[in-house]
Amino acid sequence: MDCTEAKNYLSAYIDGETDPSLSARYAQHLTACSECRHACEELLQLRATLKSTARVHTLPVQLRMQLQRELAPKKPESSVSKSGFRTWLNAGLLSACSAALAMTLTLALTLPGKSEVLDQEIVASHYRSLLANHLADVASSDHHTVKPWFTGKLDYAPAVNDFSADGFPLIGGRLDYVDKRTVAALAYRHNNHLINVFMWPDSTAKATTGTAATLQGFNLLQWNDAGMSYHAVSDMSAAELEKLRGLLLAAAQK
C-alpha cells in the first residue's frame, strides 16, 4: 500500500469498514509510514474531541411553534369550507410535528451518549498505545514492581495482578488520560492479543456484571467492582475478555 491509497481509505479504516485483507495491509503501511500514522492519530483525536464536546440541543418551545406555523400550508381560509379548513390545518400541523420530531430524532440518533463517547476514548487510547508501541511506562510482570510505580502519580492505588498462570501475563502499567482524568492502565497479553485495562475510582458506581460493546473492530468490556470502574479493550474475543474480568474480580476479592 502506498500513501495515496492509505489516504483514500483513512476514514473507512478508522471506522472499521475495511475488509480484513485491506485492514492488514493498512496496519502494515502504518508501521512503516510515520506520516500516515500521524494522520490516523490526528483524525482519531479530532473525532474524540468532537464527540466529547457535542451536546444534544432541543428546539425552544417558541421556535418549535413558529416552525409549525411556518410549515403549515398557506391557503386563504375563504377558499375552503370550514371542515376542509380543519382538515388541512390538521394535516399541516401533523406534517410540521413530523418534521420537528424527525429533526429531534435525527439529533438524538446522531449524537453519541456518554458511554459511547467513553468507549471511543478507550478505543483511541488502546489504539495509540499499540501504534506508538507504548503499552507500559513500567514494563514488568511483577506486581511488586508495577504497583509501587503508581504511588504518588495517582490519588488512588490500582490493584495490580499478574495472571501468567492463567494465560494472561501482565506486560506492565502506565498512566493514561481518559474521561478528563489521569487513570491507571494495565497492559496484558493473551496469546497474540494485547489487552488494555483502564481503572479508576467511581464512588457512585454500583457493582455490575460486564457490559460488552464492539467498536472499530475492538471488543470492550466495562464493569464496576468495589467502588472502581473498569474498562477492558482488546482485539481478542468478548468471551476471552470476560475470562480476564473473572480473574480481576477474583484477585480483587483476595
Closer to Zn ion by CB, 4 or 21: give it.
Answer: 4
Cα–Cα distance between 15 and 139 in angstroms, integer? 31
Angle between helices 61-71 and 82-110 (to 10 degrees): 130
Cβ 27 to Zn ion shortest distance, Å: 12
Cβ 162 to Zn ion shortest distance, Å: 37
| Residues binding Zn ion (CB under 5 A) | 3, 6, 33, 36
Cα–Cα distance between 179 and 124 in angstroms, integer? 12
Closer to Zn ion by CB, 1 or 195: give it.
Answer: 1
Cβ 29 to Zn ion shortest distance, Å: 6
Bridge partners of 193, per DSSP, are 190
Cβ 127 to Zn ion shortest distance, Å: 17
Closer to Zn ion by CB, 107 or 131: give it.
Answer: 131
Closer to Zn ion by CB, 3 or 101: give it.
Answer: 3
Cβ 6 to Zn ion shortest distance, Å: 5
* H or E element that contains 245: helix 238-252
* Residue 126: CB atoms within 10 Å: 27
Cα–Cα distance between 18 and 92 in angstroms, integer? 45
Closer to Zn ion by CB, 36 or 186: give it.
Answer: 36
Cα–Cα distance between 219 and 232 in angstroms, integer? 8
8 Å CB contact between 138 and 173: yes
8 Å CB contact between 47 and 41: no
8 Å CB contact between 203 and 227: yes
Closer to Zn ion by CB, 5 or 242: give it.
Answer: 5
Cβ 95 to Zn ion shortest distance, Å: 50
- The three cell numbers of residue 18 are 475495511
Judged by DSSP in three states, 99 sits in helix
Amino acid occupying residue 100: A
Cβ 15 to Zn ion shortest distance, Å: 19
Closer to Zn ion by CB, 6 or 44: give it.
Answer: 6
Residues 6+ apart with CB under 8 A from 86: none
Report DSSP state, residue 233. Answer: E
